[in-house]
Amino acid sequence: CSAQGASGSELLRLRKVVNDLSTVVLVDMSGTFLRSDAILRAVAYLPFPWSLLRHLKLIPRVLRDAIYRYLASNRYLLFGRR
């Protein structure tokens, strides 16, 4: 569900996560994941070879989140707009 919707907002409230639309949040049966943890958790659900990206979890979170913030801030410059 979307964080902007009623069910998404309620889920974030129940999980005690600030409803910050500037970052990605993934909630599954294992817990709540933010920023690079959410991305790596999501790719684990994808088929091979994409699921191999979950091994990037071995990189320290501080570095992963710094890269995440850089990519998020510069996504239009790096990937363009549709």
Amino acid (1-letter code) at residue 59 = I
pLDDT tens-place string over residues 29-80:
888 898 999 999 999 999 999 999 999 999 999 999 999 999 989 988 888 8
Question: Residue 1 has what pLDDT?
Answer: 63
Question: Residue 27 has what pLDDT?
Answer: 87
User: What's 48-61 look like in SS3?
Assistant: CCHHHHHHHHHCCH
Question: Residue 39 has what pLDDT?
Answer: 94
Question: Residue 20 has what pLDDT?
Answer: 64
Bridge partner residues of 34 (DSSP): 25
Give the pLDDT band (50/70/90) at residue 19: low
* pLDDT above 80: residue 13: no
